[in-house]
Amino acid sequence: MKQRLFRKMVVWATSAVVLASMAVQVSAADNSWQSVEAKKSLVVGFCAQYPPFEFKNEKGQFEGFDVELGNAIGKKLGIDIVFKDGEWQGLIAGMNKGDYDMLITCMGETTARKKNVNFSDVYIDLTEVIVVHKDDTRIQSKANLAGKTVGAQVATSSERVLDGMADLVGNIKKYNYTTEALLDLKFKRIDAVVCGIAYAIVQIKKDPSFKIVGEPLNATPIVMALPKDADALTEKINGALAEIKADGTYDKIYNTWIRLD
């Protein structure tokens, strides 16, 4: 009897130790929110070359939809947001080595990216469109791209959409930035550019050399990116985003930067 009781006590004690050890390991594995909360600041990486989402104004200050969204999230969480500009192609790698706590940079949700990062809930859906020179009467839709050279920015949803239309296009030309593609289009070195509709409208307002043709090509869910397995921080970000949408803050930001009418 005593031996049975002793064996049960050993089992209980061993289980308690294992459970405690697991709890410590889980806690140690994900201190993503605790570290941000402790320093009272969140470093947000982005590429400030994509209006109306993020760009520098005439005074060299960051502006745009993503900037206001990030600041609103910081206010909800009671922390300061520090924006850090970087090259688009290196943002995820930079975050994973600790240069940024997260990314808010009009990033499309993809299966490939999800293998390396956590994604927030979707904060906006964007469509890609075809932009041509204002004098071009040949291209009215994607059906007219045969034999034409079409550009897009690498590592973006625009590139993925264009790659998916490869059988409709004469030649695909890829650029580091959409601004470079539009410059080539302006001087008629290429025939069309695929890019996000909000970005296209901003550029057309600034430079009437361009126009949008045809129907939107797709809808891309735009998300914030966080380090892989930073679940605690991801949960906090999603909670703040939900609050912003519920209290009307999100609508104000959207109407300032994205609303087209």
This prediction has a pTM of 0.79
User: What are the structural domains of the chain?
Assistant: 32-125+221-257 (3.40.190.10), 126-220 (3.40.190.10)
Please tell me the distance from the alpha carbon of residue 35 to that of residue 233, in angstroms, as a whole number. Answer: 9
- Render the burial of 217-232: b for 16+ CB within 10 Å, e for the rest: bbebbbbbbbbeebbb
Summarised one tens digit per residue, pLDDT across range 5-62 is: 445 444 444 444 444 444 444 445 799 999 999 999 999 999 999 999 999 999 999 9
pLDDT at 217 over 80: yes
Q: Check residue 247 and give left, alpha or beta (phi > 0: left; psi -120 to 50: alpha).
A: alpha
Nearby residues of 2 by Cβ (< 8 Å), 6 or more positions away: none
Which token pair is 62?
Answer: 């960051």
Strand partners, 117: 227
The closest of 240, 231, 227 to 101, measured between CA atoms, is 227
Please tell me the distance from the alpha carbon of residue 173 to that of residue 183, in angstroms, as a whole number. Answer: 13
Please tell me the distance from the alpha carbon of residue 245 to that of residue 243, in angstroms, as a whole number. Answer: 5
Please tell me the distance from the alpha carbon of residue 209 to that of residue 6, in angstroms, as a whole number. Answer: 85
Summarised one tens digit per residue, pLDDT across range 53-97 is: 999 999 999 999 999 999 999 999 999 999 999 999 999 999 999
